[in-house]
Amino acid sequence: MALQEEMEKQGNFLFKYRGYLPLIIVAVGLAVFIEPHDGHTFFCIEIFDR
């Protein structure tokens, strides 16, 4: 029963904020893949530039 209640709670949260979540995901994705002007890179790009 606890698992079912937790899944329902999470589903209600995702349904309530379904319009904002894609915007947050896109903003975080852009922040990860855009290189700053000082030459340093963010998370994933630094691994591939070796």
What are the extents of the domains in the chain? 16-50
Q: Is there a contact between 35 and 45 (Cβ–Cβ < 8 Å)? A: yes
What pLDDT does 30 receive?
84
The overall pTM is greater than 0.85: no
Distance between CA atoms of residues 1 and 14, nearest Å: 20
What pLDDT does 37 receive?
55
pLDDT tens figures, 1-50: 899 999 999 999 999 999 998 999 898 888 777 756 555 555 555 555 55
What pLDDT does 6 receive?
96
What pLDDT does 33 receive?
76
First to last CA, the chain: 49
